[in-house]
Amino acid sequence: MSLALARKYRPRNFATVAVQNHVANTLKGAIARGRVAHGYLLCGPRGTGKTTLARVLAMALNCERRDDPALAGEPCGQCGSCLKIWSGSASLDVVEIDAASNRGVDDARDLRERAMYAPSGEDRYKVYIVDEAHMLTREAWNALLKVLEEPPPRVVFVFATTEPQKIAQAAAPVLSRLQRFDLKRIGPSEIRERLAAVLSEEEVTFEPEALGMIARAADGGLRDALSLTDQVLSIGVTAEVTSERVREALGLVPDEEYLALLDLVAERRAADVFPAVQRLADNGVDFVLVLAGLGDLLRAQLALALGGELPDLSERMRAALAERKGRVAGGDLLRMLHALLELEPMYRRSGQPQLLLETLLVRFALMDRTIELEEVLKGFGAGGHDDPPTRRVAHESRVASAHALPPSPPAAVAPAIAPPIPAPPMPRTATQQVAAAAAAAQMAPSRAAAPETPSAPPSVEQVSKRWSKVVEAIQVRGRGMLAQAAQRMVPSSVDGNGVLTLAYDAADDTWAQAVDGARHDVVQALQEVVRGVTAIRVQSMASVASSGAAQGAAARPNKRLTAHDVQQQRTSQLAAKDPILEAAVKELDLELLD
């Protein structure tokens, strides 16, 4: 029986290890100069050469021609010792251990005791290759710690792992006793070259496009690529590697199907999404592969739209995407990729992947009917002038309120009569509705507030309405961080002595400490905006809710505050700063997330 390609073409020396020259040259130089370390840690994705490098290292250390200057640290690959180690046969001096099935402390103690025995010859090394090393338990690493720090003469440990972070978590002291090498993921071009050389050696005809498909499916692993090639060669009577055979063997979706989905999105044919996805389901495709292939296609189309170089694609796909350039805007492609990435974690766990794919494609096809909130807000000021009337009126209103005189006694104030404002026509769209509400909010004159006695404490409603002005007053004083902290506070109550209680959510404890440490500055800003506040008190919502009725003869029972109440009051405070934002909050029912 012939060997599998992955075993038959496993490298026999450091020079033939693909891509990992930074590791191979270092190990070869250490052997040639006699500076071999007692422990190595080889890290990297699967199929990148970790176990192969460990075996080549063992071959070079125990090669019968190791003293030959012409080899310069390379194994000959032809002597009996090299052949035995390369094939994985039993050897007294090279032991391979699978840590996934030998991960306990008893296995580690057995390994430690075996390491105390000398090699079979004075010129030989004992090499222990531990694969899947991250599976060892913390106790097993502790049992190996002493022997790794002070190993017996001519004993070398080589640990291979795909997850070095687990070793760092379970046994961080071990890392300082090993030389670590990180192996690179093998690129598609290197995999294609290696596959072409192997198939040429095997006298098998192949299509370059088929090798590219195998290289992409291997996902950076050369061993996986050789195994997939073996799988493709098992189909059919003749030995050849074609694109059709690769799709049949690996269950790949034809490129034409991806292009058809892209055309559906570009032409906004949402109704055709369902029969197209059903056709894929009838062919028995894996929808996880469909989602991954769709992401690669959108990524390539985005790169082309931005004027960049296309990723690794076949010439036919390059030409097809070039014909479709400009049919979908770059911003839309970026939003599609973002939506696809958000869906991917849910997609792998869902029991209805077909439905998720259909809704995703319909969302892509209807993307021209969606509108960003930024565009809605920009539409408020779209009048072709540098100073639109609505903004100018709002600015003049703010200037007038900033320079207003202190209020007079009630008897001396004449009621202000606002001129009637004609009702705007009924808008047809959400954008027009929000814009009309914003214009009405800006054009309406502010009503005069009821004058209050300077000595009388204000109500908590009055403080809440002007709390955003208090925050602005703190900001004007140059206390930006304090203003940001005060913005997260919510006025809760005012007692008869003018002491204002500020409530905060438990997650804002750090901000509350900043406000509590600067009470004097906050009170000064309060007295500029709201008369009658003499001091402040900072309490959590839980403390406010459990305190019952407010203290003082003139105080009313406190309302029980919740996290939702705090979010609503913060939203109201932010909206009060800008009439446009206030109108958008009211019409679109927006909420403050953070």
- pLDDT digit string (tens) for 165-177? 999 988 888 998 9
User: What is residue 445's predicted lDDT score, i.e. its pLDDT?
Assistant: 45
pLDDT in tens, 422-476: 444 444 444 455 445 555 545 544 444 444 445 588 888 888 888 888 888 888 8
User: What is residue 399's predicted lDDT score, i.e. its pLDDT?
Assistant: 38
How far apart, in whole angstroms, are the C-alpha atoms of residue 198 and residue 492? Answer: 77
**Stronger pLDDT, 183 or 403, i.e. the higher one:** 183
Q: Is 231 exposed, middle or buried (0-12, 13-18, 19+ CB in 10 A)?
A: middle
User: What is residue 509's predicted lDDT score, i.e. its pLDDT?
Assistant: 79
Backbone angles phi, psi at 500, to 5 degrees: -95, 130
Q: Per-residue pLDDT for 67 more than 60?
A: yes
CATH architecture of 5-182: 3-Layer(aba) Sandwich (3.40)
Q: Which two tokens stand for residue 594?
A: 């953070």
Segment 209-233 mean pLDDT: 90
Fold match flag (188-250 vs 460-549+556-561): no
In CATH terms, the fold of domain 255-369 is Zinc Finger, Delta Prime; domain 3 (1.20.272)
**Per-residue confidence band for 371, with pLDDT thresholds at 50, 70 and 90:** low
The sign of the CA dihedral 542, 531, 488, 581 is positive
Would you give the DSSP letter of residue 583?
H
How far apart, in whole angstroms, are the C-alpha atoms of residue 563 and residue 277? Answer: 44
How far apart, in whole angstroms, are the C-alpha atoms of residue 391 and residue 437? Answer: 14
Backbone angles phi, psi at 90, to 5 degrees: -65, 135
Q: Which two tokens stand for residue 134?
A: 């991250």
Quick count: other Cβ atoms within 10 Å of Cβ 354?
15
Strand, coil or helix: what is 318?
helix
Q: Which of 187, 184, 181 is nearest to 225 (CA)?
A: 187
CB 554 within 8 A of CB 526: no
User: What is residue 402's predicted lDDT score, i.e. its pLDDT?
Assistant: 41
Alpha helices in 171-314 (DSSP H): 172-175, 188-201, 208-218, 222-233, 243-250, 255-266, 273-282, 287-305
User: What is residue 455's predicted lDDT score, i.e. its pLDDT?
Assistant: 56
Which residues contact residue 284 at a Cβ distance below 8 angstroms, ignoring those fewer than 6 apart? 251
Would you give the DSSP letter of residue 374?
H
Would you give the DSSP letter of residue 283?
T
- Domain assignments of the chain as residue spans, ordered by start: 5-182, 188-250, 255-369, 460-549+556-561
How far apart, in whole angstroms, are the C-alpha atoms of residue 120 and residue 456? Answer: 99
How far apart, in whole angstroms, are the C-alpha atoms of residue 164 and residue 132? Answer: 10
Hunting for tokens 């004609």 — which residue is that? 422
CA distances from 245 to 206, 213, 252, 401 (A): 11, 11, 10, 78
Over pLDDT 70: what percentage of the chain?
Answer: 76
DSSP labels for 499-562? EEEEEE-GGGHHHHHHHHTTHHHHHHHHHHHSTT--EEEEEEHHHHHHT-BPSSTT--BPPPP-
User: What is residue 463's predicted lDDT score, i.e. its pLDDT?
Assistant: 87
The pairing of strands 179-182 and 155-161 is unpaired
Q: Which of 284, 214, 220 is nearest to 242 (CA)?
A: 214
pLDDT in tens, 256-285: 899 999 999 999 999 999 999 999 999 888
CB 553 within 8 A of CB 496: yes
Phi-psi region of 235 (alpha: psi -120 to 50; beta: other; left: phi over 0): beta
Q: Per-residue pLDDT for 555 more than 50?
A: no
Containing 462, the helix (H) or strand (E) segment is helix 460-465
Would you give the DSSP letter of residue 577?
T
Over pLDDT 90: what percentage of the chain?
Answer: 26
DSSP labels for 63-101? -TTTT-TTTTT---S-SHHHHHHHHT---SSEEEEETTT
Single-letter residue type at 443: M
Average pLDDT of the residues of the chain: 79
**Per-residue confidence band for 589, with pLDDT thresholds at 50, 70 and 90:** low
Q: Does domain 460-549+556-561 have CATH number 3.30.300?
A: yes
Quick count: other Cβ atoms within 10 Å of Cβ 181?
18
pTM (predicted TM-score)? 0.59
Strand, coil or helix: what is 248?
helix
Q: Which of 390, 401, 447 is nearest to 424 (CA)?
A: 390
**Per-residue confidence band for 401, with pLDDT thresholds at 50, 70 and 90:** very low
Quick count: other Cβ atoms within 10 Å of Cβ 189?
11
Given the candidates 1.10.8.60, 1.10.150.20, 2.10.10.100, 1.10.10.10, the CATH classification of the domain at 188-250 is 1.10.8.60
